Each structure stands twice: as C-alpha cells, then as structure tokens.
Chain A
Amino acid sequence: MSMDSIIKIKDLHFSYDGPKILENIQIDIQRNEFIGMVGPNGSGKTTLLKIIMGVLTPDKGTIEVLGKPPFQSVKEIGYMPQLTPFSRDFPISVEEVVLMGRLGKTSSIGFFNKDDKRAAEKSMDDVEILELRKRAIGSLSGGQLQRVLIARALTCEPKIMILDEPTANVDMKIEKDIFDLLKQLNESVTIIVVTHDIGFISQYIDRVACINRTLICHPTSELTGETIENMYGTHMHMVHHHHEDEKKLS
C-alpha cells in the first residue's frame, strides 16, 4: 500500500515569520487519485502547493513526494499556474511554450532536440491543440490558452499534475471539456486541482481536500446533492469547528 503513496505529508506546519499559515497538515495521496482542493482565499492552498513543489520548506513535519524530498521530485510534477504570469504579447509560439515543459528533462545546453519535439507534439495532440502549434500565444482565446498551459505541464511526462484553478477564466462548456480531458489523463497521472467549483467537479474527483489553515479530506461519496452545496457554503465553518475540537483535546 505504501508503495502506491505518491505524496505523503505528516504533521506539517508552516508560517512566513508570523501567524501559522498551515497547521498540522496530514494527507496521503495515492497513485492515480484525483484530488480537488478547496478553501477560501488566503487559506494556505497555494502555500501547500509550493511546499509540495519544493519552493517553500515547512517549519515542522515531514513531506515526501514520490518517496523523495520535494525539491528532488519537482521535475516529475507538471504544474499549471492559476494566472498567466507572462505577457500575452511575448513573441512566442504555442509549440515553443509547450516545449518549455521539457526543461529539467532535456540537455541543459543547446536547443530543444527531437525527443523534446516529439513529447511536445504528443501533449499538444492530447489536449487537441496540434493545429495551433505555430500560432502566436497572443492570438489565442482564453480556452485555447488554458489548453496550451495544460500541454506545457504534460510535456515533462509528469507523474503528478498540479493545476491551480485551471478553469478560472473560461465558460462552462470549456470547463467541462477541460475536466473531461483531465479525467482521461488521470488514468496514468495523479492529479491535484485547486478549484472553487466543487459542486461541478465532484463527478470527476475522488476526494476533496478542504484547506483553511488545517486540512480535512472528504471522499466524494460523502458529497452528494444538497450536501455539496451545504459543504461548499459552510465548509469554512466546518474546518473551524474541527480546529476548536482539536484545541480542546490538546
């Protein structure tokens, strides 16, 4: 069983020189799980993702990703950021953006090689943007750009994909397309997706990780019909209660 544990976090605490951002986090994510991560703004979601990717180091506790410390396994993670931090008028084509997912996997000097191009082609094909490969990114629609970023995350042939609100700026139809696509990819890749729309994605995911400084996981079987709406509306409250209970115990 532990062989299939992809991300293992125990008793993790984190703060930026101030109040605790994350407290006593425990989670064990299994191979090929599809995890939805929810929580209000400032709840520590992004911080936890950064710890998983080795950008931040926890104050206390242990974390193993693929059986290694995070900074050693970050190259096996395909990451799709929430906001695009680059400028849309940067002179670069779809293919060149997707190729950048090969960094860390390819040779460190010179240009991208044939293997890189093949991997980029495959991931563009997977997300159905192969015909856009020569287009400048500035000329794409929002939905097309999201696909490009997913393709870039896929090009490193990741074992884990982390997507931070992949459907934040697209309409319902594209949101469904993107999650159908992720569900397909999930056959071979473990996926963590940060989202606000837990009601919609509950049909895709295995577990919901609710974060508000502490973390509670719910299997999706617990989340049906109205209870999803209830939980989504009040889950901050629920986490808060849990936290108080813990204090009483200690």
Chain B
Amino acid sequence: MSSFFDAVSSQAFMQNAIVGGILASVACGVVGSYVVVKRIGYLAGGIAHSVLGGMGIAYYLGRPPIEGALVAALVFAVILGWVSLRLQQQEDTVIGALWAGGMAIGILFISKSPGYNIDLMSFLFGNILMISSDDLFWIAGLDVLILLIVFLFYKQFLAVSFDEEFARLRGIPVERFYLLFLALVALTVVILIQIVGLILVIALLTLPAAVSGLYVRSLNLMMLLATLLGVVFTTGGLAISYQPDLPPGPTIILVAGAFYLLSLVITRFWKKA
C-alpha cells in the first residue's frame, strides 16, 4: 500500500487518475441517484454501450474518440428517450437493438481503422491511468454543466422523477425534462467511459447511488453520499489494483459491487434487528 502512496505523491499519471476519479464521482453521484430512483438503469446502459458507435467513427476519422462519444451519447439519448416515451410496449426490445447496433457500428469502424485492437480494450474497459490533464478539463467542464442544469431545474427533475402525472398537471413539460435528463445521463456516461470504459459504466453509474439509497431517505443526501462513495470506490480500486498490477477499471467495479452486496446484507440485518 505504501508504494501506492509513493506513486500518488510522485507520479503525475497517478495524480491525474485520482483527480479524474473524484471529478467523475460528482457526476455519477448526482445523475446516478436520479437513474436509480427513476429505475432507468437499462436505458442508461443502452446509452452507454451505443456510444461505441460514435467513438468508432471518430477514431476512424482520426478525431479524439471523446468527441465522437459526446455526439453519439447525446444522439442516442434523444432516440432512446423518444422510444421510451412513444413505444412503451416494445421499449426493452428497441433499447436492446440500439444497444447492440451502436456497438456493432463502432466495431466495424474500428476494424477499418489503422491500429485496430490497440484502443478497443481501453474503449471497452477504460484506463484511468491514461487520463491526461486535457481529459481532466473535459471532465471538470462536463461536471460544471451537469451541476448547473441540476441546480437550475432541481424542482422539475424531482417532480418528474417522483410523480410524472402530477408534474404534468402542474404544467411541467414532462417529456422535455425527461429528454434533458437523458442528455445528462449521456454526459455522465461520456465522463465515466474515461474511468472504467463503456462496458462497466452502468455499474459505476448505479452502484454508488444504490448503496447510498440504502442508508439515506432524501434525494439530496443520497447524491452527496453517492458522490463520496464514488470517490471511495475509484480511489480504493486504484489503490488495490496498483501493487498486483491489476487493471484498475474492473477493480473499481468489484470494490463497488462488494460494497453494494455488503450494504444489502447489513441493512437487511439491521431492519430485522
């Protein structure tokens, strides 16, 4: 463990990784809490995976993959939002189709790009140790944007996630806020892809909020605790993975998963006692 602290104090890439984890935790704590209480984890998973299409195209064109990810995440968020509002009957099938279709597009473009395979793994599983200072500025910027939108429309987001019908009767344009919310999910997904890759995004988006929801009974506290837990999971995962040279993304997810299971057991036991 001491070699981890040495690395953090001396190596720029470790400092970037820690700061990246902290910045990502803000977005995943806030947006993840909405995803958990509104129970749209599957929809968020669809957005996360279909983003590979955009990353593949950007990669093929020689652009930074994060630009493609950003565009694809927003486009798929709007499409999936529209689907879930209009085609409620077949919602899960259509999400599944877009989920896989987006990934297939991505793989095709990556396979036709020079240097195939080099980056595919880091798209899929992320590499927090490769985060550059430029990435940190991107992540911080997206954090600020997400927090600004959540603060401005706090009431509407709360109303729409708690009781859509009532919100509509109070004159809230429910569908517009639902789509705006999915756009926030898209931005968060793009941030988290830098940390754990798109396969594991959904875990980092939902697990801190799910753990937090077991302990607190208010949405604000849930977001705060989820953010802190996000910091614990990312930093803890990094620390554990460092010495045995494990890939940090999956380690972070397993730390979060273990925390969640433990919390489930503890809270069950607690309620019974």
Contact = CB atoms under 8 A, between A and B. Distances in A.
A96 interface: yes
A104 B174 CA distance: 13
A86 B162 contact: yes
Given A103-B155, A104-B172, A93 B166 contact: no
Interface string A101-141: 10110101111100000000000000000000000101000
A81 B171 contact: no
Q: Which of the listed residues B37, B159, B170 has the most CB atoms from chain A within 10 Å of its own CB?
A: B170
A93 B152 contact: no
Interface stretch (B88-96, B212-220, B244-252, B257-265): B212-220
Given A81-B165, A85-B164, A90-B162, A156 B217 contact: no
Given A86-B162, A91-B219, A138-B217, A55 B155 contact: no
Interface in B170-227: 170-172, 213, 216-219, 221-222
The binding surface of chain A is classed by DSSP as: loop
Interface residues on A, range: 20 to 34
A53 interface: yes
B152 A110 contact: yes
Q: Which of the listed residues B167, B216, B217 has the most CB atoms from chain A within 10 Å of its own CB?
A: B217
Given A92-B219, A93-B218, A79 B166 contact: yes
B228 interface: no
B152 A109 contact: yes
A239 interface: no
Nearest to B219: A91
Interface string A49-65: 00001010000000000
A100 interface: yes
Interface string B101-126: 00000000000000000000000000
6 contacts: A79-B169, A85-B164, A97-B162, A104-B172, A106-B155, A136-B218
Interface of B: 37, 151-156, 158-159, 161-172, 213, 216-219, 221-222
Q: List 5 tightest A-B contacts by C-beta distance, closest first.
A: A136-B217, A103-B170, A104-B171, A104-B170, A86-B163
Given A96-B218, A100-B162, 9 more contacts: A55-B169, A79-B166, A85-B164, A103-B170, A110-B151, A111-B154, A112-B155, A136-B217, A136-B218
